[in-house]
Amino acid sequence: DLATAFNDRGQIKYLRVEFAAAMEDYTAAIECQPGFEVPYYNRGLVLYRLGCFDEAMKDFRKVLELNPQFEDAALSLKQAILDKEEKQKRSY
């Protein structure tokens, strides 16, 4: 389906370190199928890598709302919270 195709193309771009393009594809996948948790998770990973912790946490929380059993999303959310706290302690 189209949402899966956008997500898969986003993965290829992510692996090429084309983060902006990957996020566009993940967002397109979400728009096609809002209940598909995987592109939220993938977009959250990109946002996390870019240091956009609040946005990443929002995506990880959405994944867990859609699928509470998605363990990688739970772990990623915890890590984003810790890293945000660390960043605030260093205040940069």
Q: How many CA atoms lie within 13 A of 30 on its CB side?
A: 19
Instruction: Say whether 35 sits in a helix, a strand or coil.
Output: coil
**Nearest to residue 51, comparing CAs of 89, 86, 11, 22?**
86
For the entire predicted model, the pTM comes to 0.94
What domains can you pick out in the chain, each with its CATH number? 2-91 (1.25.40.10)
pLDDT in tens, 48-91: 999 999 999 999 999 999 999 999 999 999 999 999 999 888 87
